[in-house]
Structures are given as structure tokens and as C-alpha cells.
Structure 1
Amino acid sequence: MTTYRRNALLLALSAATVAAALPAATASAAGTASAPGSGLAWRNCAVAGGPAGQECADLSVPLDYREPAGRQVTIAVSRIKSTRPEARRGTLMVIPGGPGSSGVQRLTQKGARLAQETGGAYDLVAFDPRGVGGSTRANCGLDAADRYMVTLRSWPGADGSIEDNVARSKRIAEACRRNGGPVLDSLTTHNQARDLDRLREALGEERISAWGTSYGTYVAAVYAQKFPQRTDRWVLDSSADPNPKRVAQGWMRDMARGADDRFPDFAAWAAHPDRAGDGLRLADRPEDVRPLFIALAARLDTTPVPSTTPGVEVNGNVLRQALQNSLYSDSAFPGLARLIKAAQDPAAADDPARRPALPPQLTQPMSDEDAAITVGVICNDVRWTGSVPAYRRAVAADRAVHPLTAGLPANITPCSFWKAPAEKPTRLTDEGPSNILMVQSLRDPSTPYTSGLKMRAALGDKARLVTVDQGGHGLYLGNGNACTDTTVTRFLLTGERPEQDTTCAN
């Protein structure tokens, strides 16, 4: 799994208070102030298998935009220059998801294809948000046991209890408060938008275009709200509900609906007769796959089986997390079916050769820096609501309605023990240029269609929506829908959008 996809899955996480924090700026105009050392010294950073001619640089930005000449942090930047000066019309920013995904890595992965699609019309530019990759990092000093995906995420106990989640959330929040420092406190969507504008300025561009995916759509939308005069052609790919009262807490809750929307695609695939030849057919009928999965997860809750990784078992929550990972793309379906088959095997407990194999992201802890950014942004952006008893009730209700996610989306996180954010979230409006194209899957496991419609409503006439009758997360140049690719590319090249909201068939 790429870093982009792994971190897109971690929207449901949380973070911690920082005792010695420097609050971020409250005025968007601070993002355009000049500061020493804002130039870019480019160096070659092309890698084998990546785009030819990829360059990298470091950009200095203020830790606190209220003190633009004060302490600076470093933002890692990458670009692929247009090789056709006569065709070049500007710069296209590639804004990754997460929070916690690397823009530099995203450009390495998608840059060659994007350059081909756009035919040299743009310099392609991306950056690692503060806290990510080659940019200035933060640390929480978390124990390794708290940095596994299935522990950093608040999966309830087998019986639906959340006591372990409460204790872990408090422990993570306290560690981040103790160790995070002002850098952790600066990890916010507001500052990512300001850093993006500082990069625009350093590039010498009056306006920029953008392609934001997943959480990156929220960053892009916030930027367009703060700096509307700086936007050119704006693509939001797989958007979530921008409700400023909830932000990431709402995104987390929406994941239950997303899993329910998407699972039928996997069920149809897993019940298809073509799977029999690979030994991956799970049932004769698609409608039998869901109860099979739910029953297997319940059995593993009480009787886990060893995996091929010593000391790591496949319990119910590991299987559920594997499902969440796999729903992002049809290409992950075979691996999920293989895991289910192996976990069903009664000989797996005693025969090492028949034990299920898990992907690395489920068998080892993430780095402390990755854990810090994952929880930092979503907790710093908005105050998470609800008492422990309220979470307990919400988890019980969610488990009953959405057994595939077993109460995770409604559960408590470290954000519940975080201090109040330094700034209020941005309220998105329909004010500004009408230059946004949205693409949204009907069956998205992370940002469900109903959530995307709320972004569409917030943007009003600024946007046009392309509804894609396909499953998965991240559509442009991602899930193989030719109509989507053609529509987005045409917009980037010509500015042409559908006159009204439209649909792309599967």
C-alpha cells in the first residue's frame, strides 16, 4: 500500500495537546507576508522508475504566521518542469491526502502520467506538508504498541467495549502534549494552505491550478476560500463533508456509510465464477459474502489465528482493518480474498505453511513521526465533541447498524483529550471564482458520495460535480474510468467544465 493510501485511511485518528505551543495566525493575509530565505534552490532528485527530470528543493516558511520573520520550518518541495515552453500555461499543484501523505511521493508516483495527460501545459509541483516526509517533523514519543494501525485507530473491543480505547487515547494525548512542542501544534489545515501560498509566491506565480485528492480536497477548498484570487483551475477528487463544526470527526463517522456503500463491489467480485479458478471465490452469491465476512470477524474476535509474521495474530479487528484498506481499489480485492480464505482454514492455527499473510502496514508500527502527523492535524483543526459515556452509546449504536466497521467510526480518539484549537475551521462558501471541478465516486469507502454532496452544496456555483458510477477512492488517473480522466484533463487544458453537474458511467 502506498503512503498516500495508507494515510488516507487514517482520517479516523487523533492527537494531543502541546503545552508550549505557538498558536497559528488568525488572519489569512499573514500567509502572503514576505520572509527571509523564501527562494528555491532546485536539485535533481529523479529516482529509478520515477519521472525523468524530477527536481527537489527546500522552502522555509514561518512556524507561526503571526511572526513571519521568526522561527522557520522547512517544507520539502518537488517539481517536474514542462518540457514544452510553447505549451506551458502555469503551475499545477498536486495536493495529497491524509492528513500525513507525502506530496513529493505522490508526484513521483503520478508525475509521468500527469505530464503525459497535460502535454506540457503545466509545471507539476508538490510538497510534503509540515510534519511529513522531507519537511520538518514532529514527535509524540509514543510507545510502539500504540503506533500499530489497529491500535492508533480506535477499534472497539470484541464485546464493543471502549475502555482500552479511552485509556490509549488519554495516553497518546498526554505523550503528544509532553513531547510534541510548537511544531506539532503548527500542524493544521490552515497552515498547509498558507504554506501552499508561500510556495506559490516562491515560484513567482500570480495564480496556480491544483489537483487535490481525499483530504487534499479540503486543503484545496480552504486555500480557495482564503486566497480566491490566486486560483486558476481547481480539481477536487473524492471530497468529504467540510462542516466546520465537525471536520475530521465527521469524516470518521462517514466511513461507516462508505464501507457499506463499497462492500457490494467486493462481494460481487468475490462471488463471481471467475474467482474459482484462482481459488478465491468466497461464495456462490454476492449476498452471501457480507454475512460470511461478519461471521468470520466475530470468530476471530474470540479465536485469533497466527499470521506468517511471528507474534502477530489475525483477530477480528485486523481483518476489519484489512477490509478498510482493500476497499480503496479493486486491485486490492485478490489480496483480501486470499486473507479471508486463509483465516477460514481450520488448519491455519497449527500449520505455519497455511497461515494468513498480512501486509506490512498491519504487522509493524508506523514511525513516531508518522503517528504524530496523523493525529496532529485532525486534532488541531477542530474541537472533538462528546463525553466518554456519549462515545460508549454511539459505538453501540454504530456497531448495530454498521457491523462491517464494528463501531470504529463512532469511537473516541486522542482528539477527545486535546486542547482547544488555536483557530476555528474555515467555513466554505460559494463566494469566489467559478473554477472548481469535483469528481466523486458513488461508492467511495472513505469519502462517501453523500459526504461529497455536502462539499458540492457548500461551494455552490463555484463548482461542477462529475458523479462517477464506480467504486473506490481517488478517481483521476487512479481507477481506470476513461470518462473521468477525459473530463478532468479537458478542464485542466482548456478550462471547459460541464455546464451542469453530470455523470460518468462505469
Structure 2
Amino acid sequence: MPFRGWPALRRTALRSTAMVAGTAVAAVAGLAAAPVANAAPVTTSALRWTPCDGPDHPGAECATLTVPIDWARPGGATFGLAVARRQATDPGARVGSMVFGPGGPGDSGVERVVGGISRFSSETRRRFDIVSFDPRGVGRSNPVTCSGDLLAQRPSPEMGSQADFDATLAYNKRLRADCRARTGPVFDHLDTAQTVRDLDALRAALGETELTFHGSSYGTLLGAQYAETYPHRVRAMVLESVMDHSVSSTREFLRSAATAAQDSFDEFVRWCADESTCALHGRDVRTIWQGLLTRAQRGELENPSKPGTPLSSADLVNRIAFRKFYAVDHAGLAQAIAEMASSSPLPASPTSVSPLPPTAPVFCADWRLPVHDHQEYASLIGTMNRAAPDLPLLLPVQMAVACLGAPTANPQHRLAVRGAPPILVSNALHDPATGYPWAVSVARQLGRSGALLTYEGQGHGSVTSGPCMEHTVDAYLTDLTVPPRGTRCPAVPS
């Protein structure tokens, strides 16, 4: 997502004009002509690390790994994969390199490393070089680039007719053509199956016989498919806040995503009822929230970050509420709702939904979510509204709309992982973006390799949520100690 998961899809990704400092080349000539499970790079030079650009982040090192645009044609055109690392803080206790798979799609692993790696425990930072990269199409790795004006013309996902549906299809086709022309041939090779091969080339370039990997949110797709493709090259793997790529139908994908988001809203309402410091304590939170949704629908709700301009109902849901659920910032959400509820209404006016970033095609390359016509779309919206009555027009349905008409190179399938060591699957019970049932499903698909670690709290990302989670994950990564079946860690105050 994130996903970090879905938040990356809320930011407009701009093409970076700065190159990673210290460009280095890792030769990948001689690779197998197709993504065969046991095919390894035949020749890979060591990465040449140099200090990253900027004086504000001492200790971060950057390099570039040259990989094929299309792994089915390893002798063809190439591009540079941006890589960054921070070395283990205790070289004498170093285990090796741990590669972090960023979320989104659209998160920059390079920025994560350069800007600091506080999301990992001090023990992990002590024992491992923390390495990450910008996945193909993201950040400094041949980013997807599209016309800003065209992105801003995105039709509203509130389609009211077949004519609206047809106009959206036409817009999607026009936008894809624009993005392809501006991005180049990488645009047609953005799927996670290609990135799996990038990850294995990075493993080899790091000099690691086996991969130690931590994938978060959307990065869990990468980890799971790596284990499926190269099971015997996995040393240890943490999948945190897990996406279930086996969810095959559009309706089930949207229903399960809506259910997870609504669960987080319900947790917020319960917190506010119990917590006297909540800015809405003692009031009917749902009624106040529905009032804001109504005002936003009319174009009467002022955007807190853009005074004088209206906030759409979709942006109220996704930019105000949903992002607060990620960090379990209930107090901040309550305060924001209270302030908006007491604000003066704007004159009614049309609203527009914030544009999706260019990295949406990465998602479309991995998820086949067909919608055949407006009638089916309206039915899907009905399903989501029943699952999440407080959160209309959630980001997942907007992504499904953005993918209408797009080809899918790496469609959903059940995992077939055979021969991999234990893989730690970690998820909060109340995760707004990757619901707990997805983690249970992925752990089951992994079979004997799946070890489910449950955090009994909330939020998107949980491996450092209290000493129980930290110690369990640290013991697994450093000593390969697998927690007992059914291990659960208690929630800690947010």
C-alpha cells in the first residue's frame, strides 16, 4: 500500500530530475531468457556505493543496478534501478543485508533509507545492512510520467450513467497513451513479476546467497511472489500488512477492502465513546460525520488545507479519515472532524476528486478488476456502501476505475510456494487497508511455510508496535526463530 500502501497512491508522483548519487552498473548479461524459477544471474558485478545526494542524511549510500526492461529479453534494453542502504550499526554482529520492499505502489524505498530507517527496530538496524530500492516506474527508477494537465482531468468516480462510464474508458485510454509516450518502454513492464526478477538481481549484486526480505503492504506482493519463484533462495522473509493476491473477483476485492476500512472507522467511534479526551466525546460521531459527507457532496465543506475551496466527499473519506487510520491517530481525526463540523458552509459549488498519481499503472499491471458496464459498476458501489456505510468512494474503487480497459500482465492467483523456509506473516487485527482476513488467507496459501503473527491492535504496519512484536520479529530475522503457531501480541496504546 500500502500501501506504505494506499497513501502512496494519494500523492502525485513527480518525475525526479535528480539522479541517484554514485551511479554504479551491475551487469546482467547472460540471464535466462524467461523468468524460470531457478535461473540466476550469471555475471553480476558488485554495486559501487557512494554517499547519497544531500548533506542532511549522513550514512546513507546510493548505487544503481542496471536491469533489463523486460526480463523475457535479458539481452535487450536496460534501465537503472535506484538502490540505497544504511550499513549495520554493529559491524561485528552483522548478519547480512535485509532488503525492504516498499509499499504503495509508488513508495520510494530509496527515500525510506535516505530519510532514516526508524520503522525498523534498533536490533534489526544493529544486525543488518538495511537496503531498499525504487521499484521500476517509481521515484528514480525510470518513473512513470504523465501529463499533469491530463491527470487533473480525471473524471469523477461518481459515475451516474453509461455515458459517464464510456467517457471514463475513453479517458483511461487517452491517459495510458500519454503516460506510455512520456515514460518509455518500461511502462509496459511494471508488474510485480518483473520486479521479482529485479529483486533477485539485487540479491546477487549484494553478494547474498539467500535473501532476507521485509515487505510492507504492497511490498508483500513482491515478497510472496519471490518466495513462489525462488523458494530455495529465501533465508528469512517478513510480510507485514499483507495484500492477498488470490482475491480474484472485482466484487470480493472491493467488499473486503471496504470491510477493513469500515472496521477501522468503527474502532474510532468506539474509542471516542470511551475516551474523554476525544474532541467529539459524548456526541453522536456518526451523525456528525454523515453531516460532513452531505456538505462535501454539495460542495459546501471547506478544504482544511486549501481555504476557500471545497472538499469533495471522496477526499474527505480518503485524505482526512483514511490516512488517520494508518497511524491510529484517533485524536487527530476527532479534532479535524470537530473543526470542520463547526466551520461555516461555503456556497454550494461543484467539487473535483484529487488526481491519482502516475504510479496507478503499477497497480493495474497486477490486478485484473473488470467492470463491464455502468449497471455492474452501480452494483459494485452498492456492495461497497453496504460494507462501509460511513466511507463512500474509498480509494480501492477509484483504483478499479483507473484500471478500466488496462491490460494486466500479472493477474491474481493463489500462491504455490514449495520448499521455502518459514515466512513470517504479520498483520494487525484492525488494519484499514489490508484487512486481517487477507493475512490469514496468505498464511494458509503458504502452507507449511506460513507463520502468522497477529497484532491485537490497530493500524497499517505493526512490526514495531510494542516489545512483543519487536522481539518476535527480531528473533525471527536474526536467529531464524519461528514463533509458536497462533502467536498473538497485545495492543499497545497509540
Same topology, TM > 0.5:
yes
Matches within 5 A, 1:80-159: 80-111=86-117, 114=120, 116-118=122-124, 120-141=126-147, 143=149, 146=152, 155-156=157-158
Q: Would you say 1:173 and 2:180 are equivalent positions?
A: no
Secondary structure of 2:456 counterpart: strand
Q: Would you say 1:188 and 2:203 are equivalent positions?
A: no
Q: 1:363, CA displacement in angstroms?
A: 9.7
For 1:156 and 1:68, locate their aligned partners in 2 and report how far apart those are by CA, in whole Å. Answer: 43
For 1:226 and 1:462, locate their aligned partners in 2 and report how far apart those are by CA, in whole Å. Answer: 14
Q: Would you say 1:201 and 2:204 are equivalent positions?
A: yes
The aligned counterpart of 1:495 is 480
The aligned counterpart of 1:241 is 244
Matches within 5 A, 1:394-413: 394-408=380-394, 409-410=396-397, 412-413=400-401
Superposed CA deviations along residues 54-81 of structure 1, whole A, max 9, x for unmatched, are 1000110000112212110111000112
For 1:88 and 1:346, locate their aligned partners in 2 and report how far apart those are by CA, in whole Å. Answer: 55
TM-score normalised by structure 1 residue count: 0.81
The aligned counterpart of 1:42 is 49
Q: 1:257, CA displacement in angstroms?
A: 0.7
Q: 1:110, CA displacement in angstroms?
A: 5.0
Aligned AA for 2:133?
A: F
**In the alignment, is the contact (CA less than 8 A) between 2:3 and 2:216 conserved in 1?**
no
Counterparts in 2 of 1:176 and 1:418: CA distance versus 1, 3 Å: same
Q: 1:324, CA displacement in angstroms?
A: 1.4
Counterparts in 2 of 1:269 and 1:452: CA distance versus 1, 3 Å: same
Aligned AA for 1:177?
A: A
Q: 2:316 aligns with which of 301, 316, 319?
A: 319
**In the alignment, is the contact (CA less than 8 A) between 1:155 and 1:165 conserved in 2?**
no
Q: 1:416 aligns with which of 395, 404, 409?
A: 404
Aligned AA for 1:462?
A: S
Of 377-386 and 111-120, deviating more is 111-120
Counterparts in 2 of 1:428 and 1:250: CA distance versus 1, 3 Å: same
The aligned counterpart of 1:439 is 426
More helix by share: 1
Superposed CA deviations along residues 395-420 of structure 1, whole A, max 9, x for unmatched, are 1232244222325445651322113x
Q: Would you say 1:264 and 2:266 are equivalent positions?
A: yes
Superposed CA deviations along residues 425-484 of structure 1, whole A, max 9, x for unmatched, are 55412412232111111111000111211111111110111111101101123xx33211
For 1:426 and 1:120, locate their aligned partners in 2 and report how far apart those are by CA, in whole Å. Answer: 37
Of 321-330 and 137-146, deviating more is 137-146
Matches within 5 A, 1:64-79: 64-79=70-85
Q: 1:330 aligns with which of 328, 331, 355?
A: 328
For 1:460 and 1:30, locate their aligned partners in 2 and report how far apart those are by CA, in whole Å. Answer: 21
Superposed CA deviations along residues 79-115 of structure 1, whole A, max 9, x for unmatched, are 1122433312221111111111111122235525637
For 1:162 and 1:269, locate their aligned partners in 2 and report how far apart those are by CA, in whole Å. Answer: 42
What is the identity percentage for the equivalent residue pairs of Structure 1 and Structure 2?
32
For 1:113 and 1:65, locate their aligned partners in 2 and report how far apart those are by CA, in whole Å. Answer: 32
Q: 1:118, CA displacement in angstroms?
A: 2.2
Q: 1:43, CA displacement in angstroms?
A: 0.9
Aligned AA for 2:483?
A: P
Instruction: Tell me the matched-pair count.
Output: 459
Aligned AA for 1:343?
A: M
Secondary structure of 1:217 counterpart: helix
For 1:242 and 1:29, locate their aligned partners in 2 and report how far apart those are by CA, in whole Å. Answer: 19
Secondary structure of 1:390 counterpart: helix
RMSD: 3.2
**In the alignment, is the contact (CA less than 8 A) between 1:439 and 1:484 conserved in 2?**
no
Secondary structure of 1:73 counterpart: strand
Aligned AA for 2:211?
A: I
Secondary structure of 2:260 counterpart: helix
The aligned counterpart of 1:218 is 221
For 2:423 and 2:343, locate their aligned partners in 1 and report how far apart those are by CA, in whole Å. Answer: 53
Counterparts in 2 of 1:472 and 1:439: CA distance versus 1, 3 Å: same
Superposed CA deviations along residues 248-268 of structure 1, whole A, max 9, x for unmatched, are 986554221111211133223
**In the alignment, is the contact (CA less than 8 A) between 1:102 and 1:129 conserved in 2?**
yes
The aligned counterpart of 1:387 is 372
The aligned counterpart of 2:442 is 455
For 1:379 and 1:398, locate their aligned partners in 2 and report how far apart those are by CA, in whole Å. Answer: 20
Q: 1:499, CA displacement in angstroms?
A: 2.6
Secondary structure of 1:86 counterpart: helix
Of 69-78 and 423-432, deviating more is 423-432
**In the alignment, is the contact (CA less than 8 A) between 2:240 and 2:461 conserved in 1?**
yes
TM-score normalised by structure 2 residue count: 0.83
Q: 1:501, CA displacement in angstroms?
A: 2.1
Secondary structure of 1:170 counterpart: helix
For 2:252 and 2:405, locate their aligned partners in 1 and report how far apart those are by CA, in whole Å. Answer: 17
For 1:223 and 1:400, locate their aligned partners in 2 and report how far apart those are by CA, in whole Å. Answer: 36
Q: 1:496, CA displacement in angstroms?
A: 0.7
The aligned counterpart of 1:340 is 337
For 1:200 and 1:327, locate their aligned partners in 2 and report how far apart those are by CA, in whole Å. Answer: 34
Secondary structure of 1:114 counterpart: coil
For 1:10 and 1:111, locate their aligned partners in 2 and report how far apart those are by CA, in whole Å. Answer: 22
For 2:99 and 2:46, locate their aligned partners in 1 and report how far apart those are by CA, in whole Å. Answer: 18
Structure 2: unaligned runs, 5 residues or longer: 12-31
Superposed CA deviations along residues 318-373 of structure 1, whole A, max 9, x for unmatched, are 21122111111123x343223322321253549xxxxxxxxxxx99757xxxx222
Q: 1:130, CA displacement in angstroms?
A: 0.9
Aligned AA for 1:167?
A: A
Of 126-135 and 161-170, deviating more is 161-170
Secondary structure of 1:232 counterpart: strand
For 1:98 and 1:250, locate their aligned partners in 2 and report how far apart those are by CA, in whole Å. Answer: 20
Aligned AA for 2:391?
A: T
